C-alpha cells in the first residue's frame, strides 16, 4: 500500500510569509502527527490529529496550527515565518496503538 505522502518536498519562503504543508496518511490510518526536526533541537512533536480533532499538542507557539479533513489528510500552517522555522517537517500516520509511519518530510527554508 502507498506510504505517507508529504507535499511539497522542498519549500523556500521569506520571513513574515505563511506556509501550508500537506500530508496524506496511509489509507485507513486516522491519526496524523506532525514533527519538526532541526539540527539544534532534534525531532520535536508539534501536534496530533485524530478524526479531525486535535488530540495532542506540543510546545510550539500559536503560529503553528494544523487541521485534519474527513479523509484523514492533514495540513499544517505556519504563519509569520521566522528564520528559526527553517526545518524538516515530518508527518506520521498510525492506527491508534500501533507503530507510526513517517513521510519523507518537507524541508522548509526561510530566508
Partner 1 sequence: DAKTTQPTSMDCAEGRAANLPCNHSTISGNEYVYWYRQIHSQGPQYIIHGLKNNETNEMASLIITEDRKSSTLILPHATLRDTAVYYCIVIEFGNEKLTFGTGTRLTIIP
> x/- string (CB under 8 A) for partner 1, residues 47-86?
-x-x----xx-x----------------------------
Contact between 19 and partner 1 by CB under 8 A: the answer reads no
Q: Are the beta carbons of 71 and 4 closer than 8 angstroms?
A: no
Neighbours of 35 (CB within 10 A): 21
Contact between 33 and partner 1 by CB under 8 A: the answer reads yes
Q: For residues 6 and 24, what is the distance between their CA atoms, to the nearest angstrom?
A: 6
Nearer residue to partner 1 within complex by CB, 69 or 80: 69
Q: Residue 2 carries which DSSP code?
A: -
Nearer residue to partner 1 within complex by CB, 4 or 21: 4
CA-nearest of 10, 90, 9, 20 to 48 is 90
Determine the interface stretch with partner 1 among 10-18, 63-71, 76-84, 103-111 (rule: CB under 8 A).
103-111
Contact between 9 and partner 1 by CB under 8 A: the answer reads no
Q: Who contacts 38 (Cβ-Cβ below 8 Å, separation ≥6)?
A: 44, 84, 86, 87, 88
Contact between 35 and partner 1 by CB under 8 A: the answer reads yes
In angstroms, what is the minimal distance from the CB of 21 to partner 1?
Answer: 13
Amino acid at each position: 500500500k502507498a506510504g505517507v505522502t508529504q507535499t511539497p518536498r522542498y519549500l523556500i519562503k521569506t520571513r513574515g510569509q505563511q506556509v501550508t504543508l500537506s500530508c496524506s496518511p496511509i489509507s485507513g490510518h486516522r491519526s496524523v502527527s506532525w514533527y519538526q526536526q532541526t539540527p539544534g533541537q532534534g525531532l520535536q512533536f508539534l501536534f496530533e490529529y485524530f478524526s479531525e480533532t486535535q488530540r495532542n499538542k506540543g510546545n510550539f507557539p500559536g503560529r503553528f496550527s494544523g487541521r485534519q479533513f474527513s479523509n484523514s489528510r492533514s495540513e499544517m500552517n505556519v504563519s509569520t515565518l521566522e528564520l528559526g522555522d527553517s526545518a524538516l517537517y515530518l508527518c506520521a500516520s498510525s492506527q491508534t496503538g500501533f507503530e507510526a509511519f513517517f513521510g519523507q518530510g518537507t524541508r522548509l527554508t526561510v530566508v
